Structure formats: structure tokens, C-alpha cells
């Protein structure tokens, strides 16, 4: 609705709304926009006010009219870039936890680097129940969507097909047709597994959280692939997988303890997250075992603390800040040029070997 207390003339407010809808893809090139009466009822103004706005936009080339058919956005129209770009950041992580979360915080620092000294306004949005309904009704110029769930892929495709401009960050589903930036999760997990296997480990348990997110599935598949390549077959109990993260700590810890009590206990753990590695380290110590003398542990993600705990953790480092920066730069180019960027953009991961991994004891028993 138009703000009737705003000193800006109502027809200019209506014009701004229509311009925003053209710019953000709600009114697409070649398509008819709603009629004047429909817009007047929606915005709470007179039809004459809407008519004045539309006539001005026709004169400026934003719209054209066909007698008896209505008002259209020109086929080849490319809206000028606004003075300030409005970008929505959609995240699965609760907004209250953004500052304290290493993963999301690192992505945000990269985004901020990309918009330094640029006229950009960021709005943080919680992941809605219906991605399409929420974002299609928004007048943001573009969106960055972090950790897109598989159930939202169809909505993401619908949004792009409807003219919305969005880049997915940290999710690389095979069927995704939306531009994305992600790290090489499979390559990083494979490097960690090969490191353990080359040390001589054969009983390597996998600890996975936040299934079935794209990143967790990629790491799980890499764990399976690495074992398969070495013709190693482990029982299903060697896979510890939960949908939750912090809320599932007790469940994962109980499964780790159960594995450690087996006659042929794991000699190593591949933990597909940093916090799950800390949980596993604590459970190993509670069982009276040592890291890495009795059990080796690898982690995913490499915050500063990983190098300073005892023992320092062997981790897979993701280029999180670079990912956030690359995703924002990709979206900004799209918004400024109108040209959709390439779909696939993987950034390499790096295995950082530290003191939490060592060859297994010859008999698999505690040293």
C-alpha cells in the first residue's frame, strides 16, 4: 500500500513500486503488467494516480501500451541499475546465531569484502516455509541463498524462470540450474580419507551431521568412495549420521561410545564437521583412549582454535570467506550487467595435517 503520510507524491510512489517490480523480475520483459484498476485497488490509490505513473514510465521507455491489450514491459528492456542495490541474504542458520557461528560468520565476512565501498543494502532473512512465495513477493534486487535444501530446488528454479536473480551459496545439488558457489566437499573429504588410509587405517568410522544437506551428503559419498576404492567393507554401525547439529550431540556421542566398546573398534574417525570432531575427541578420551596414539581424528573446517587444542586437529580447510566473496561478486555482476553468470563455481579445499592423526597401533589395541 502507498504511504499516504509520505511527502513524496503518490504517483511517484506508485512509479517507484512498478520500477522495482520491473527491475526485480516481478514484471518481466515482454509480459503484460496488471491493469490500472487492479493496481489502484492493490496500492490504495485512485486509478488516475496509477495512470499518471504509467504514462510517465511509458515516456521513459520502461513500458509501452497497446490499444485494447494493456501495458507491457518491452521485450528487450534492461532496467538501469538502482543507486543502491538491495540484496537479501537467506540462511538456514537462525539470525541470532550468525555472529557466533564460525561457518556463517566466515561467509558473511567474504560478502562484506565484496561490497566494500559499494552502494549495497543487505537484509538478512530466515529461510521461509515457502521460498517461492516469500522471494517472489519481495522487491529485493537479488538474493544469496545459503545451504539451499533439496526441497527448495524447484522453488529456486521457479524464481529464476520468473526473472528473479539469485545465487546459491554452499550447496551444489547435481540437478541445480541456479548459479552457485561451493567448496569442493567431495575432494576435501576424499583427501582426508586418503590421508587416514595411507597411514594404514582400515576401520574408519564416519560422523556426519545436518543430513541430508548437500555438503553432508557429498562428504558421506566421498567417505564411501574412499573405502570402496580400497576394497574395505564396514558395517552400517560405522556410519554415525544425524539430521541435527547441536541438538543431536548426545545421540552422536552415544554412538561413538558404542563403537569404541566393540572388540574391533575404529582406529580412526572422519568427522564431517568441526564441532562433531570435538565431540568425538571428548568421547574418545572418556573411553580412556588417546588421540592419536589409539584413535586418529580428522575434522572438516579449520577455525583458529583447531590448531591450538590438544592435540591440534587435522582438518579440511574450506575457503569460506572466498566463497562468500565469490558468491556476492557473481550476484553483483548479474545485477549490474543483466547477464546470467555461469552455473558451476567450485573452490578448492586443502587438507591441513596436524597432530590428531597417526598410524594405527600394529594390533589395533591401545598402546
Residue 214 pLDDT class (50, 70, 90 cuts): very high
pLDDT average, residue stretch 72-90 = 93
The reported pLDDT for the residue numbered 365 is: 60
* Domain match, 189 and 295 both: yes
What contacts 177, CB < 8 A, 6 or more positions away? 157, 160, 343
pLDDT digits (tens, 9 = 90+) for 157-195: 999 998 899 999 999 999 999 999 999 999 999 999 999
The reported pLDDT for the residue numbered 101 is: 82
For residue 234, give the CATH number of its domain.
Answer: 3.40.50.2300
**Residue 352 covered by a domain:** no
For residue 49, give the CATH number of its domain.
Answer: 1.10.10.10
pLDDT average, residue stretch 83-109 = 85
Model confidence at 99: pLDDT above 70: no
The span from the CA of 295 to the CA of 285, in Å, is 10
* Domain match, 281 and 196 both: yes
**Residue 126 covered by a domain:** yes
* Domain match, 172 and 269 both: no
The per-residue b/e assignment along 22-53, b for 16 or more CB within 10 angstroms, e otherwise, is bbbbbbbeeeebbebeebbeebebeeebbbbb
**Residue 355 covered by a domain:** no
Average pLDDT, rounded, for the chain: 93
Model confidence at 94: pLDDT above 60: yes
Model confidence at 313: pLDDT above 70: yes
- Out of 24, 48, 72, pick the residue that ends a domain: 72
pLDDT average, residue stretch 18-37 = 92
**Residue 101 covered by a domain:** yes
Whether 347 and 184 have beta carbons less than 8 Å apart is answered as yes
The reported pLDDT for the residue numbered 95 is: 66
The domain in which residue 21 lies consists of 10-72
pLDDT digits (tens, 9 = 90+) for 257-293: 999 999 999 999 999 999 999 999 999 999 999 999 9
* Domain match, 200 and 148 both: no
Model confidence at 342: pLDDT above 80: yes
pLDDT average, residue stretch 119-127 = 92
* Domain match, 206 and 172 both: no
Alpha-carbon separation of residue 247 from 148, 214, 242, 280 (angstroms): 20, 20, 10, 15
The reported pLDDT for the residue numbered 366 is: 59
The reported pLDDT for the residue numbered 5 is: 86
pLDDT average, residue stretch 86-110 = 84
Q: How many domains does the chain have?
A: 3
> Positive or negative CA dihedral for 122, 327, 80, 126?
negative
Amino acid at each position: 500500500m502507498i504511504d499516504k503520510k509520505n511527502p513524496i507524491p503518490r504517483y511517484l510512489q506508485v512509479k517507484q513500486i512498478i520500477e522495482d517490480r520491473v527491475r526485480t523480475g516481478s514484471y518481466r520483459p515482454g509480459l503484460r503488467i496488471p491493469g490500472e484498476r487492479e493496481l489502484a485497488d492493490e496500492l490504495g490509490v485512485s486509478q488516475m494516480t496509477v495512470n499518471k505513473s504509467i504514462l510517465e514510465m511509458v515516456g521513459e521507455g520502461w513500458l509501452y501500451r497497446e490499444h485494447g491489450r494493456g501495458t507491457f514491459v518491452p521485450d528487450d528492456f534492461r532496467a538501469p541499475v538502482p543507486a543502491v542495490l538491495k540484496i537479501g541474504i537467506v540462511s538456514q542458520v537462525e539470525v541470532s546465531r550468525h555472529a557466533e557461528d564460525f561457518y556463517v560468520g566466515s561467509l558473511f565476512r567474504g560478502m562484506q569484502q565484496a561490497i566494500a565501498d559499494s552502494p549495497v543494502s543487505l537484509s538478512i532473512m530466515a529461510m521461509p516455509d515457502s521460498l517461492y512465495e516469500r522471494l517472489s513477493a519481495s522487491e529485493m534486487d537479488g538474493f544469496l541463498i545459503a545451504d539451499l535444501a533439496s526441497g527448495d530446488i524447484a522453488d529456486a528454479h521457479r524464481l529464476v524462470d520468473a526473472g528473479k536473480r539469485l545465487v546459491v551459496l554452499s550447496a551444489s545439488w547435481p540437478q541445480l540450474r541456479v548459479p552457485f558457489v561451493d567448496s569442493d566437499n567431495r575432494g576435501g573429504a576424499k583427501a582426508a580419507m586418503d590421508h587416514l588410509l595411507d597411514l594404514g587405517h582400515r576401520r574408519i568410522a564416519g560422523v556426519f551431521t545436518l543430513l541430508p544437506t548437500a555438503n553432508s551428503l557429498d562428504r558421506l559419498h566421498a567417505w564411501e568412495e574412499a573405502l570402496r576404492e580400497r576394497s574395505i567393507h564396514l558395517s552400517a554401525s560405522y556410519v554415525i549420521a544425524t539430521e541435527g547439529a547441536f541438538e543431536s550431540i548426545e545421540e552422536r556421542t552415544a554412538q561413538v561410545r558404542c563403537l569404541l566398546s566393540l572388540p574391533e573398534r575404529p582406529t580412526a574417525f572422519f568427522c564431517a564437521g568441526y564441532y562433531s570432531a570435538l565431540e568425538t575427541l571428548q568421547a574418545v578420551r572418556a573411553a580412556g583412549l588417546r588421540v592419536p596414539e589409539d584413535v586418529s581424528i580428522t575434522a572438516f573446517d579449520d577455525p583458529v582454535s583447531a590448531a591450538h587444542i590438544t592435540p591440534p586437529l587435522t582438518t579440511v580447510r574450506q575457503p569460506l570467506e572466498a566463497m562468500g566473496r565469490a558468491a556476492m561478486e557473481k550476484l553483483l555482476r548479474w545485477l549490474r550487467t543483466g547477464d546470467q553468470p555461469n552455473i558451476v563455481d567450485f573452490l578448492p579445499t586443502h587438507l591441513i595435517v596436524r597432530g590428531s592423526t597417526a598410524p594405527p597401533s600394529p594390533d589395533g589395541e591401545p598402546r
